[in-house]
Amino acid sequence: MSTAISTQAQQAIAERFRTVRQRTLDLCKPLTPEDMMVQSCAEASPAKWHLAHTAWFFESFILNEFLPGYKLFNPDFPWLFNSYYRTFAQFPEKRLRSSFSRPGLDQVLGYRQHVDEGIERLLEAGAEAEVLKRIELGANHEEQHQELLLTDILHAFYTNPLRPAYLKKAGQPGDEELRTSNSQLRHPGHPAKGFVKFEGGLVDVGFSGDGFCYDNELPRHRAFLEPFAIGDRLVTNGEFAEFIADGGYRQPELWLSAGWDALEQNGWRAPLYWNDVDGNWQLFTMHGEIGLDDAMDAPVSHVSYFEADAYARWAGMRLPTEAEWEMAAEGRAIEGNLLDSGELRPSGVAGAGEELKQMWGDCWEWTASAYLGYPGFEPLAGSLGEYNGKFMSGQMVLRGGSCATPKAHIRSSYRNFFQPETRWQFSGIRLVEK
């Protein structure tokens, strides 16, 4: 591995590290230490745990190995804040994270500072290539947890019967006010649905270039695609409400068998966070509850793969494969309603015509592709090999990032993955013509 890294590249990585670390703290500003204890479903973790675990990653895979004389902040933390790296250390059952009242938030913040100082020392000394690569990996890892932190808090606040809001409208009263009223969504008008055609053929899929990517984006490889026409924007809440009104949740023939089972077991009759209040749909968001009427043109979000698939079947369409999606996205500038916009909910799009819109941000887009290794896939060596590869079973690929994804984090080859019944992420629908 080359050890010659330009000073400029070093500075870029250092800057990225500092920015990411600071943003995690910024995202916690609206939260109390008590908020940061809540773990409201099996998929989620407490915000405090995210704070600690992202520090743990830098300590475990960088400081321990590369910083001479590094002293652990606390000898229990290496196993306490391990998520799932079996070859690295023992770890507590995930559900126990809700019992971590100790260490307190102050200690966790101290842990983060301790780790930051260690990384800064490494950077000052002129880190070798492998260290810089891992710092970059750690920054990307932390960005994933930023998104999880936000979606976990959304679920936590939804579970709280008082339904507090993460974001407050400007001019609202302070802490004693538990609920916020609706804020304004941008209403750019409902553009006519268009489809953009692609020729297909023998295409290259997977990451290429000099920057960072995860192991699961490699190797770049050839795949054959038939011609296809992909929707120019995401399916909206208004369109999805038509599916509901048309009995979409009551017709098993629209659903995959496992999807119908999930619907029945969980009593689904709308996306997660939709509530029927006296016959009107209310949507719970990071801004509190809003009426469907105020979000008709925003993309539908918090749908499972099963709902996305059923909607597509109802609409006479299908979902894109991940190769199709990637072909459509490759080379497009990364602009959109990402975490950096601060909107923190999917929003409508301006513009019309057959130009692809919302490829980045708003909602992760369910694809029709199972999450499997690319031909020739090799996980990273050592414990870091557990990062992605061992989850290649029973999950579907999502593409394009969401309103909770940092802009620096996403790219056309990026593969997110969740089980098909997952709904707590910002996950939506883009159609392809059959």
Question: Which positions lie near a second copy, rule CB under 8 A?
Answer: 32-40, 48, 76, 79-80, 84, 86-87, 92, 96, 98-105, 107, 156, 159-162, 164, 175-176, 178, 202, 221-224, 226, 252-253, 255-260, 305-306, 309, 321, 368-370, 372-373, 375-376, 385-386, 390-394, 420
- Report the SS3 class of residue 274: strand
- Give the amino acid at 7: T
Dist. CA 79–CA 175, nearest whole Å:
36
Q: Burial level of 371, CB count in 10 A (0-12/13-18/19+)?
A: buried
- Residue 80 beta carbon to a second copy: minimum distance, rounded to whole angstroms: 6
Report CA torsion sign: 25, 28, 34, 35: negative
CB nearer to a second copy: pick between 107 and 341: 107
How many Å is the Cα radius of gyration of the chain? Answer: 22
- Residue 286 beta carbon to a second copy: minimum distance, rounded to whole angstroms: 15
Rounded to the nearest angstrom, the gap between the alpha carbon of residue 272 and the centroid of all alpha carbons in its chain is 16
- Residue 43 beta carbon to a second copy: minimum distance, rounded to whole angstroms: 14
- Report the SS3 class of residue 350: coil
Look up residue 331 and give its two tokens: 């080379």
CB contact set of 179 (below 8 Å; sequence gap of 6+): 162, 163, 164, 165, 288, 289
- Residue 52 beta carbon to a second copy: minimum distance, rounded to whole angstroms: 12
CB nearer to a second copy: pick between 223 and 349: 223
Count of C-beta atoms within a 10 Å radius of residue 147: 23
CB nearer to a second copy: pick between 115 and 165: 165
Q: Among all chains, which residue has been given the structure tokens 């013509």?
A: 433
Q: Burial level of 347, CB count in 10 A (0-12/13-18/19+)?
A: buried
Dist. CA 360–CA 167, nearest whole Å:
22
CB nearer to a second copy: pick between 17 and 207: 207
CB nearer to a second copy: pick between 7 and 87: 87
- Residue 47 beta carbon to a second copy: minimum distance, rounded to whole angstroms: 10
CB nearer to a second copy: pick between 103 and 400: 103
CB nearer to a second copy: pick between 62 and 223: 223
- Report the SS3 class of residue 54: helix
